[in-house]
Chains A and B, each alone.
Chain A
Amino acid sequence: MICAGIDAGSRTLKVALIAPPSTKIVGSAVRDQGVDQQALAVEVLEALLSERGLTRSDVAAIGATGYGRRLIRGAGITVTEVTCQAWGVRACVPGARTILDIGGQDSKLVRLKADGSVADFVMNDRCAAGTGRFLEVLAMRLGVPLAGLGALSGQSARPAAISSVCVVFAETEIVGLLASGASPGDIVAGVQASIASRVAAMATGNLPEPICFTGGGALVPGMRGALEAVIGLPVTVAPDPQLTCALGAAILASRRQEPAGQRNAP
Chain B
Amino acid sequence: MSQVIARITLDEWDRRYEQLHAGGLREPSYGGPLGRHAVAGDRRLTKLTFDRSTAALRLWNFLLTEDERLAGARGLGVKLLGTMKDLGTVPVMAASFDDVVAFYPDGAWWIPCLMENEARLLEIADRLGVDESFCPVRAMLGAFVNQRHFPVPDLLTCSVGATCDDVSAIAQRLAGMGHRIAWWEMPHRRRPEPGEETVLLSGGFTAPARQVEFVRTELHRILLVLEEWTGQRLADERLLAGIVRANRVRAVLGELRRIVYGTDPCPMPALEMLVAEMLAIHFCSDEAESLRVLEELLVEVRSRVESGVGVLPAGAVKVFWVNPVADLRVMNLLEDVGGRVCGTDYMFCHALDPIPEDLPPLDALARMALADPMVGPATDRAERIVRDASRSGAQAVVLSQVPGASHCGLEGLVIGEVVRARLGIPFVEIEVGPITDSIEAGLRTRLEALIETVEAGGRP
Contact = CB atoms under 8 A, between A and B. Distances in A.
Interface in B389-446: 413, 416-417, 420, 426-429, 431, 439, 441-442, 445-446
B459 interface: yes
A114 B411 CA distance: 30
Nearest to A71: B441
A80 B431 contact: no
Given A120-B426, A121-B428, A266 B460 contact: yes
Contacts of A35: none
Consensus secondary structure, chain B interface: helix
B449 A113 contact: no
A106 B449 CA distance: 15
Interface stretch (B34-42, B361-369, B450-458): B450-458
A266 B431 CA distance: 33
Given A120-B426, A125-B442, A87 B420 contact: no
Contact of B449 (A90, A117, A119, A121): A121
B453 A266 contact: no
B353 interface: no
Contacts of B416: 204
B116 interface: no
A121 B425 CA distance: 11
Given A67-B445, A120-B420, A204-B413, A113 B452 contact: no
A39 B460 CA distance: 30
Contact of A82 (B427, B439, B449): B449
Contact size range, B: 20 to 34
A112 B453 CA distance: 10
A122 B429 CA distance: 8
Interface in A93-120: 106, 112-113, 115-120
A120 B458 contact: no
A68 B413 CA distance: 30
A118 B456 contact: yes
Q: Which of A81, A90, A115, A123 has the most CB of B within 10 A?
A: A123
Contact of A204 (B417, B449, B459): B417
Nearest to A116: B460
A172 B441 CA distance: 30
A86 interface: yes
A121 B460 CA distance: 13
B453 A120 contact: yes
A60 interface: no
* Interface residues on chain A, size class: 20 to 34
A82 B459 contact: no
Given A80-B449, A81-B449, A83-B449, A123 B456 contact: no
A117 B452 CA distance: 10
Nearest to A114: B458
Nearest to B454: A118
A255 to B, nearest CB: 10
Interface string A247-266: 00000000000000000011
B448 interface: yes
A29 to B, nearest CB: 23
A115 B241 CA distance: 59
Nearest to A124: B442
Nearest to A68: B441
Nearest to B430: A123
Contacts of B439: 125-126
Contact of A90 (B442, B446, B460): B460
Contacts of A126: 431, 439, 442
Interface string A167-208: 000000000000000000000000000000000000010000
Given A67-B442, A204-B413, A204-B417, A87 B460 contact: yes
Contact of B459 (A80, A125, A266): A266
A230 interface: no
A118 B453 contact: yes
B453 A67 contact: no
B221 to A, nearest CB: 43
A87 B459 CA distance: 10
A237 interface: no
A35 to B, nearest CB: 15
Contact of B453 (A121, A204, A265): A121
A204 B453 CA distance: 20
Nearest to B442: A125
Contacts of B441: 67-68
A120 B420 CA distance: 9
A121 B427 CA distance: 8
Given A123-B445, A204-B417, A80 B460 contact: no
Interface of A: 67-68, 79-83, 86-87, 90, 106, 112-113, 115-123, 125-126, 204, 265-266
Q: Which 10 A-B pairs have the closest CB atoms?
A: A82-B449, A80-B449, A86-B460, A118-B453, A125-B442, A83-B452, A117-B460, A67-B441, A80-B448, A116-B460
